[in-house]
Structure 1
Amino acid sequence: MRRAEAPARVGPVAVLAFLYASLAVRASPSTPAWSSDTFPNPKLSPERCGRSVAGNVCDPDSVLDRASQDRLEGLIKDIAAGVDPYALHDCAGKQQGYTIGVAVAARMSTSSGESLPESARAFAQAVHDAWGVGDRACNDGLLVFLALEQRQVYVSTGAAAAKALPDSAVTATVAASLPLLRAGDTGGALSQLLVDLGLGLAGAPPPEPRDSWLGRILDFSGLGFLAVVAGALFRNAFKAHRRTRDLAACRAQLDAIRQEQAALRTREWSMPKTCPICLEGLREEGKRDDEEGDGEGGDGERGSGSRRESSSRGEDGGERNPRDQRRSPPGEDAQALLSSSSDKRKPMTL
């Protein structure tokens, strides 16, 4: 079938993400590569496509299980019938749904000098024509092609389908299915892709783009990269916490040492001290008083009596307390001072 408009092509971002994704490929390395000429037609050779009856899904390498193949067939029938939430469209004056075909291969053949995306595009367009997907009157068919081992996906659209579903919407729709493809859920990814294509043909907005910077990190590095980053951040945070804790402990110890030093300085300056020189002076004064008393004789008695009499009165002529009239000899005063000092401190040699 010849189409009036070139088919839509998935965007380069989605293609690269699928190329670098880690997929679980079920086909063996010895699986032959299919060309568009040798790839079977599910309407003419359903057995070669892994189906028991004619349909719209061909999986000759059994990439999908039987349940996934049946689910795809059911979705294609609902979209063609315009079952809600899908919609019909006008085709040459009549209302009908869009027709979708699904071709799944483990490997596709490539031409020399041709890139994998270019090979996928040529393969999908050739199979689209060979199967005759869509109505000739309005060219409203779509073909979804998946080459699993080579990590290529391509959506070929006819002219009417391309008007309802522009290239940007096809790119967003394919990108939305990539996470399931990376997880190894090929059947689930193709089912989601058909649902989003049917909704887009019915006028629904395309799926939310997942090509954010966070999405690219998840695409190329996976959760392992995030785990490494999270571990490094946790390690740095733990080290910073430990340094803060050790610094606080050191400051507390330093403050305690400073407080002890201040307390020691205070006790040192308030400690009483004894002056040996002062004690020596008191002893010499006591000796002189004893010698003078022995040399005076009788005059000394009178002098002593005169002193006692004069001392009994104060300078102002009043009577003094008899207790104050008693005076200890100078030697006794010095000895008393020595005894008092020796009770409090260690004996000292004068």
Structure 2
Amino acid sequence: MIPHDCPHTTYATWSVLFGSPVRDLLDRLPEDARPDRLRQAAELGRRVRVEETDTLAVVSPGSTRPGVTAGGERALAALISGAERIAAEQGLPVVEFGNVRDEPEWAALHRILRERGYVPVTTGADAVLDVPATGLDAYFDGFRSHRRKVLRKERARFLDRRPRVEVLGADGLTPDLVELQLDRYRRYGHEADADAVRDRFRRAVSIPGLRVLRADGEDGPLGFVAFYEDLPHRRLVPRLGAFSTEDRGSYFNLAYYELITHAARAGGFRIHYGESTYGAKAARGCRLTRLVTYFRAADPHLHDALTAAGALRSHLEEREITAAEGTYATS
């Protein structure tokens, strides 16, 4: 249950459709297209009061395993009906189903939600890399000649530093990584302090399957990636990570080359790199899988406003995703 004033806004209806994610997308529009879209967003915002957007959100878990039940369409319909019943009992005006993936296994859930009048909104994309079991050289060979040379040089410069690279269990998420993670949060404009980072570390360690890939130099850690291994589905899902600002190559070598090497050594895994920075991830060979969030409001006027706002968010997201999808082809 997400009240309109909830401090955690990732899945809050107002935030998704009218808040900072939309403003950030608007800011990235070309100058000639921005004024009209800004006016459209402002008009949509005036149609809905934030107090009207308390939400019951059902969000598929992405960190450790796929979130679709194996119970078939009847089970999916029962799940949706149950969520709607709880929302009605609690007086929550909006029901939301988040992170429905644009993949064949999810087709039934997409169809049932649409048939029941839910509004589909593209809220992002998961960047996915299928790692060849034959190793890092096979990954490099997937790029054009010039690009391949650039990546190999980037790899060689990192190895010349002779870092100590290890893949550890949860015990690898050590206190000396807190400041590195905090610095990364601050550089990207996130509000955080050391206590908040330590809390995230504690919660990450509590979930089974956490592994930590880290590199250390003579003066301390160069960077790390904390990820979950979903062995039954052959997936790696990074959840935390930070890298030295002194060597830009530490990011690409840890987040990609070393993680790819680890995945190949285990016979090949699918790595889920998550949302944002689509162009950079596509340029490293990732494909983009759309994530769709569905909304339905019991009140017809509110539902119409959410539909219009959802269309704007989808348009803005699709513009960025489509632009990034051409990046790998030119690499």
Structure richer in strand, relative to its length: 2
TM-score between both structures, scaled by the size of structure 1? 0.22
Structure richer in helix, relative to its length: 1
- Higher-Rg structure is 1
Taking CA–CA contacts closer than 8 Å with sequence separation of 6 or more, which of the two structures ends up with the larger relative contact order? 2
TM-score between both structures, scaled by the size of structure 2? 0.23
